[in-house]
Amino acid sequence: MLTLIVLLPLLGFVLNGVLATQLGGNRVGKNFVTVVGCGLPILSFLLAVKALLDLQAGGYVPIVETAYRWALIGRIPFEVAFYFDRLSAVMTLVVTGVGSVIHIYSVGYMAHDKSFGRFFAYLNLFLFFMLLLVLGRSMLVLFVGWEGVGLASYLLIGFWFDDLANARAGKKAFITNRIGDAGFLLGMFVLYQAFGTLNMDSINSGFAIGAAAVVPASLVGILLFIGATGKSAQIPLHVWLPDAMAGPTPVSALIHAATMVTAGVYLVARMSGVYLLAPEASAVIAIVGTATAFFAATIAIVQTDIKKVLAYSTVSQLGFMFLALGVGAYGVAIFHVVTHAFFKACLFLGAGSVIHALGGEQDVRKMGGLWKKIPLTFWTFLIATAAIAGFWPLAGFWSKDEIIWFALASERGGSPLLWAVATLTALMTAFYMFRLVWLTFFGASRMDPEVEHHVHESPLSMTGVLVVLAALSAIGGFISIPHFLEPMLPLPATHESLHHLETPLKYLAMAIAVTGVLGAWYFFGDGAKRAARVAQTFAGLHRWLSNKYYIDELYERVIGQPLVWLSDAVFLRFSDRRVIDGALNGLAALGQRSAGVLGRVQTGSLHLYAWLVLIGIVGALLWSWRHV
């Protein structure tokens, strides 16, 4: 059954990819694409629910299903096996559930696109690889899924490849991820050498029974985390995610917010057996996560593209998840993955609905006053925004509050510094999200009259999905995922002395959310005049933030240009042109020149040749006569 969950989206990819694209000559219409493209993921979701019920009936003993023996090297088999436990259950349900509703949303969003079939084929391909990733038992299968989602992400970012910028963004995402993958691969090599298997349950239990002496857990932890930084857009490999917004909005929602980017979080949670023994690696994760959360949030405050704001917000929230992982609260990180999937998918799809209504406009400076015109989009967007800002009792409050609590109180590396930065970031989150709401939906309209005239609410397939996701954002926090995962991923112990702070901190979280909203209202309520004045006062800082700390430029200077120089001057001009081409051209020139000299002997006069033959014969005869 697990095999079927994974394979159904692949079937959708094959059907849509062959029949509904140029490849098969567009044999089928949009209805077929819709039924196959949405039906199979929904079927996968239902099967995943069934699998969860089976898991429950079996007393939560992990279900293992071997689909195929890939290779047998020596006596070690490499199998494509699926592993269904509490953690994969949560991830599978999120991937197929949120994936399905985003598929349904795409029907409306992409309705007028000429490559409708190709889009659904890619989306299904993505789901297939993502399910391979979360269900694989061996790291090898996980890695295939890991690379596969990277491929699907690349294909979908560059979906509208006629625009060079989109193609370039896809390439950037792909290449940045390769850097992380190198770390992941090295981690796998180290583990394989130490354990002789890549099955993650065996590796975890291997570390638990004290095989840690064989291989330093921190080394493995850091290497795997490098992989996670690539996929989950953490500093220093975060640069690809904001650019990935070049893809269609449902893609941003599904891949670059809800599912794929959380693969790194899943990986670390899955390998928690390693990280429990690797306090150094955990500390690195916590610091990188916190730093990412903070810096991404500061950038989000000044972005003017609605999707870019959400993208930086995603990077920031992923930072929160890694903070949770770093302080040992693996279940809480997965909890935030789930709630974040709900509200960020809702936000992206809401943004998609806004963009759809405005005919492709993404700049918030050209929006405003939309709340009356597209009310359903507005209300769902508002609920999701309140959820991410951390209003009680919405989903984001529960997960983020727990992360912040463990950042302070965990005995596995919690510290007041992490807590302070995380709290400040939470404040900024509320601020920039409500800034976005204010600029988009409130105030006077700044749209072109032409655009304003055409503003319309999106079709039911889109708004229906928004309502579902908004409802999940509202109540998702009551699904106590950390509790559900606790038998598998126990929560870290907390410092006894801090327990009296737990309740006040909850009130503080609320106060922070309210402060963020009030701040956004204060600065952006009055036609954003105050914000503009502040931006003018701190023009230098504003420029610094608008340009994302010039990190792209820095990478270009430090890595890009030296690489180009190296490739051009050393590899191309010296090595390729001078050494290799030079050697061949030199040989050819040598042949030509010697032929020019020797060619003079060939006079074309037969008599001369005959004379030469005669002289030769006489000479040979004389020589042999003298020497024999």
Partner 1 sequence: MDRTQLLLGLAIALFSLGLLGVIVRRNVLVMLMCMELMLNGVILSLVTFAQQTATTVGAVLVFLIFVVATAEIALAIPIVLLLVRDKHTLDLGAYNDLKG
The residue type at 444? A
Q: Which is nearer to partner 1, 164 or 597 (CB)?
A: 597
Query: Which amino acid is residue 355, in one-letter code?
Result: I
Number of H helices, E strands in the chain: 28, 2
The residue among 478 and 625 lying less far from partner 1, judged by its C-beta, is 625
- For partner 1, the closer of residues 453 and 607 by Cβ is 607
- Using the Cα atoms of residue 75, residue 78, residue 83 and residue 87 in order, give the sign of their dihedral: positive
Closest approach, Cβ 608 to partner 1, in A, equals 10
Could you tell me which stretch among 209-217, 327-335, 337-345, 595-603 binds partner 1 (CB under 8 A)? 595-603
State in angstroms the smallest separation of the CB of 585 from partner 1. 23
Q: Per CB under 8 A, does 57 bind partner 1?
A: no
CB nearer partner 1, residue 453 or residue 600: 600
Spatial separation of the C-alpha atoms in residues 536 and 242, rounded to whole Å:
25
Site for partner 1 in 122-151 (CB under 8 A): none
Residue 118, helix vs strand vs coil: helix
Per-residue mark of binding to partner 1, 601-620 (x: CB under 8 A): xxxxxxx--xx--x------
H/E stretch holding 68 reads: strand 63-73
The Cα 320–Cα 337 span in angstroms is 10
Count interface residues toward partner 1 (CB under 8 A). 13
Q: CB of residue 603 vs partner 1: minimum separation in angstroms? A: 6
Which residues, listed in sequence order, are joined to residue 63 by a DSSP beta bridge?
A: 84
Angle (nearest 5°) at CA 476 between 343 and 435: 30
CB-nearer residue toward partner 1: 46 or 610: 610
Are 250 and 90 in contact by the 8 Å Cβ rule? The answer is: no
Shortest Cβ 604–partner 1 spacing (Å):
3
Q: Cα–Cα distance between 628 and 608 in angstroms, integer?
A: 29
Residue 394 per-residue DSSP state? S
Residue 110's contacts (CB-CB under 8 Å, 6 or more residues apart) are 116, 119, 248, 250
Q: Minimum CB separation from partner 1 for residue 594, in Å?
A: 12
Question: Is residue 78 classed as helix, strand or coil in its secondary structure?
Answer: strand
Q: Which is nearer to partner 1, 610 or 622 (CB)?
A: 610
**Residue 600 or 627 with smaller CB distance to partner 1:** 600
Q: Could you tell me which stretch among 225-233, 423-431, 564-572, 593-601 binds partner 1 (CB under 8 A)?
A: 593-601
Classify 239 as helix, strand or coil.
coil
Tell me if 592 contacts partner 1 by CB under 8 A: no
Residue 625 interacting with partner 1 (CB under 8 A): no
| The residue to which tokens 């020596």 are assigned | 74
Amino acid at position 252, single letter? S
- Token pair recorded at residue 605: 């006069």
Is residue 598 near partner 1 by the rule CB under 8 A? yes
**Min separation Cβ 572 and partner 1, Å:** 38
Pull the structure tokens for residue 166. Answer: 């989109």
Asked if 245 and 252 touch (Cβ cutoff 8 Å), the reply is yes
Of residues 547 and 603, the one with the C-beta less far from partner 1: 603
Q: How far is the CB of 584 from partner 1 (least distance, A)?
A: 24
Residue with tokens 């000299």: 597
Q: Find the distance separating the first CA and the last CA of the chain, reported in whole Å.
A: 93
Least separation, in Å, of the C-beta of 621 and partner 1?
13
Q: How far is CA 488 from CA 86, 270, 483, 485, in A?
A: 7, 10, 10, 5
Cα angle at 7 between 6 and 9, to 5 degrees?
Answer: 85
Of residues 150-179, those binding partner 1 (CB under 8 A): none
CB of residue 626 to partner 1, shortest distance in Å:
21
Per-residue mark of binding to partner 1, 548-587 (x: CB under 8 A): ----------------------------------------
Asked if residues 133 and 263 have their Cβ atoms less than 8 Å apart, the reply is yes
Stretch that binds partner 1, among 174-182, 214-222, 362-370, 592-600 (CB under 8 A): 592-600
Residue 444 binds partner 1, judged by CB under 8 A: no
**31 or 624, CB closer to partner 1?**
624
Give 607 or 627: the residue with its C-beta nearer to partner 1.
Answer: 607
| Contact status: 76 vs partner 1 (CB under 8 A) | no
**For partner 1, which residue of 210, 360, 449, 599 counts as binding (CB under 8 A)?**
599
Is the peptide bond prior to 250 cis by the omega test (within 30 degrees of 0)? no
567 or 603, CB closer to partner 1?
603
Q: Which of 297, 584, 345, 599 is nearest to 468 (CA)?
A: 345
Between 209 and 598, whose beta carbon lies closer to partner 1?
598
Which of 56-64, 91-99, 373-381, 597-605 is the region at the interface with partner 1 (rule: CB under 8 A)?
597-605
**Residue 460 touching partner 1 (CB under 8 A):** no
Interface residue list for partner 1 (CB under 8 A)? 598-607, 610-611, 614
